[in-house]
């Protein structure tokens, strides 16, 4: 079973964090803009230098080759980037069910990236990330550009993937209702400290 353990983990200006994220568990993260949520996720995905330790199961981050770590600890950034002309080459090992559940048909793989709306890109970026079968998901506002219907689809796909794979999730969200709906516990950044968020 997968656990993500942070030991005195320090990113950017945040104080060191100790935290354990159990298998299949989903915690939410909130806090004002610029408080370092995105930077914390980037550090966990090993995209930015950081201090302290983070372990996947019993393996410290620096014992796992960086590309392998990033495949297992998958980050979904707020803004997705695409480098081939059409969608297909970005997602070689696509799971058709996930595409359908996100509201797409198989032929969407032939679409030109430049013609997608930002919402379509965001959902397809999730499909692309899940095709790597990560053990931990770091989601940076995954429903920010979506209408209510698509936001619900995204939430369902993520919950389904959690159940099927036992994947753990850190979910950055600005709406309290969503945090309470998807997460088991919440954290909030106040100043430069990460504190448990009280849900009453």
Q: Is 142 in the site for another protein (CB under 8 A)?
A: no
Residue closer to another protein by CB (options 91, 188) is 91
Residue closer to another protein by CB (options 90, 179) is 90
Q: Is 34 in the site for another protein (CB under 8 A)?
A: no
Q: Is 114 in the site for another protein (CB under 8 A)?
A: no
Residues across the chain: 200
Q: Is 116 in the site for another protein (CB under 8 A)?
A: no
Residue closer to another protein by CB (options 48, 155) is 48
Residue closer to another protein by CB (options 87, 188) is 87
Residues binding another protein (CB under 8 A): 45-49, 62, 66-68, 70-71, 74-75, 77, 79-83, 128-129, 132
């Amino acid at each position: 079973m997968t656990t993500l353990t942070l030991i005195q983990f320090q990113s950017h200006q945040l104080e060191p964090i100790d935290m354990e994220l159990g298998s299949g568990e989903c915690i939410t993260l909130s806090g004002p803009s610029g408080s370092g949520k995105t930077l914390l996720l980037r550090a966990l995905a090993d995209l930015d230098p950081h201090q302290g330790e983070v372990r996947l199961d019993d393996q410290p981050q620096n014992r796992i080759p960086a590309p392998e770590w990033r495949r297992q600890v998958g980050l979904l950034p707020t803004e997705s980037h695409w480098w081939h002309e059409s969608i297909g080459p970005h997602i070689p090992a696509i799971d058709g069910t996930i595409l359908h559940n996100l509201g797409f048909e198989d032929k969407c793989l032939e679409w030109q990236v430049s013609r997608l709306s930002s919402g379509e890109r965001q959902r397809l970026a999730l499909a692309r990330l899940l095709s790597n079968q990560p053990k931990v998901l770091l989601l940076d506002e995954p429903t920010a550009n979506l209408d209510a219907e698509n936001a619900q689809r995204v939430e369902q796909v993520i919950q389904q993937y959690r159940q099927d794979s036992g994947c753990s999730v850190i979910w950055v969200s600005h709406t309290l209702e969503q945090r309470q709906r998807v997460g088991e516990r919440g954290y909030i950044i106040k100043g430069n400290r990460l504190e448990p968020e009280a849900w009453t």
